Structure 1
Amino acid sequence: MSLNIRKLAAENKGFLVFLFGMVLMRSALADWYLVPSSSMYPTLLEGDRVICDRIAYDVKLPFTDVILKHVAEPQRGDVVTFASPEDGVRLVKRLIAVPGDVVEMRNERLIINGVEANYQAIEKDAGHLTPLREYPAQQLVFRESLGAMQHEMIVMPDRAAMHTFGPVTVPPGQYMMLGDNRDNSKDSRYIGMVKRELITGQVKRLLFSLDGDRYYLPRLERIGSSV
């Protein structure tokens, strides 16, 4: 049995080296991630495959959370992937606040360090901003702006969710994450702040996207698009 395994490994050494290199690359340099829900709608759609830059902020020891070198500082507004501090499941959310920020929310309106975000209403039928079918009640889409952080987001005022919280201070070495689908996202309001070593990368671009409502046909307009 062991001889057969050694023979098989010797005959496929090139493929095994390639396979190990791919796994190493995904662990240390770049990875892709399937968006499984609408928690980041309208920025990310269910069925999007996003590219994750694993060395955007830190160089880590492969297959671990051990940081070898800081590359850059995570910024407010970045879309990031991270291991949930609750159960280790990988999530993708927007980084809303950095260490030392004082954050609160009042009736869906975000306030950071005493400055309230500006909200500009957007029509839901603009581009891909179609109403989410899984939630038939009121859905409101806005462009949320606070300093350099500007992005589209959605609220569902009638849905049972944490519309108000804080103020809370983000601890040293930790970050607050929120979903752009504010009332349908399990984020830092529920799972707590995220330590830097749990951040697995930054998402800047889509790889491709499949539409589950249309027999998983590709969304051609989203192939390679920026986030």
Structure 2
Amino acid sequence: MKNWARANKGFLLFLMLFGIFRTAIADWNPIPSASMHPNLLEGDVVFVNRLAYNVKVPLTDVVIGTTGEPQRGDIVTFSSPKDGTRLIKRVIALPGDRVEMRNERLVINGQPAGYATLGRGTETVKGLGDLAALHIGETIADARAHSIQLMPEVQARRDFAPVTVPAGQYMMLGDNRDNSEDSRYIGLVPRALLIGRAERVLASADITGNWHPRTERFGMSLYQPTP
């Protein structure tokens, strides 16, 4: 074993440095589901800035310092408070915010979000087939406008009573509002579970179809203006 380690010390050093880089500095996150449609697609691989909010001990989740605060509208990766699964959602409400949802429409600190219809389409849902989808522009308080998707034929939690977000926690929602397991189901997300801020699409392939690369998405920023 010692001889093997000595003969492969360069490779072992590479693995160690690679692990440090991925767990402390930057990472990439494959998108496996439709929960962030229409902005993220299955088969996208997004770049995640792990230094956006915290500095952690390499190869651990131990926070040793903070570098910034999550902002409303950020797309973040985090560990689910329910079962530890890595998820990617959008920050909707910050600590101290009072937020509610009425028939898919958000109200934050007494201010209704703005909504504008952008278009219509269809989405294939396993077990349900092709369903109608609405693309909506959503503007929340001081955040940049972004697109969301609604699917009226799907059973979903479209309302919740007012809740005040406690200190050190965040409300996360998927952009595909009627097909996302987010804070409506898993609860609010403590800051300690945040992993990083998703910045852009590194690469993309149509994994639900023919696996062809979607080159038009390579390098695409996740914070482009809403049409």
Instruction: State TM-score, norm by structure 1.
Output: 0.93
8 Å CA contact 2:122–2:131 kept in 1: the answer is no
Between 211-220 and 167-176, report the one with greater CA deviation.
211-220
Corresponding residue to 2:214 among 207, 212, 219: 219
Which digits, 9 at most, give the CA deviation of each residue in 1:122-145, with x for residues without a partner? 123xxxxx5212252332110001
- What's the counterpart of residue 155 of structure 2? 160
Matched-pair identity in %:
52
2:188 maps to 1:193: yes
Change over 3 Å in CA distance of 1:213–1:137 after alignment to 2: closer
DSSP 3-state at the match of 1:20? helix
| Range that drifts further, 16-25 or 209-218 | 209-218
Deviations 1:41-100 (A, max 9, x none): 011001110111001011111233322111111000000000000000100000101101
Aligned with 1:132 (options 123, 128, 131):
123
In 1, distance between residues paired with 2:132 and 2:122?
9
- Distance of aligned partners of 1:131 and 1:138 in 2 relative to their CA distance in 1, 3 Å threshold: closer
1:185 aligned counterpart, secondary structure: coil
Hey, what's the Cα distance between the residues in 1 that align with 2:106 and 2:132? 20
Instruction: Report the equivalent of 2:179.
Output: 184
Task: Structure 2: give runs of 5+ residues left out of the alignment.
Answer: 223-227
Query: Residue in 1 aligned with 2:45?
Result: 49
Alignment of 1:21-36 (within 5 A): 21-36=17-32
Q: Which residue of 1 aligns with 2:90?
A: 94
3-state DSSP of counterpart to 1:17: helix
Question: In structure 1, how many angstroms separate the alpha carbons of the residues matched to 2:109 and 2:141?
Answer: 12
For 1:207 and 1:193, how far apart are their aligned partners in 2? 29
The TM-score, its normalising length taken from structure 2, stands at 0.93
Find the aligned partners of 2:36 and 2:133 in 1 and give their Cα distance. Answer: 14
Unaligned runs of 5+ in 1: 125-129
Q: How does 1:67-86 map to 2 (within 5 A)?
A: 67-86=63-82
Residue 209, structure 1, aligned to residue 204, structure 2: yes
C-alpha RMSD over aligned residues: 1.1
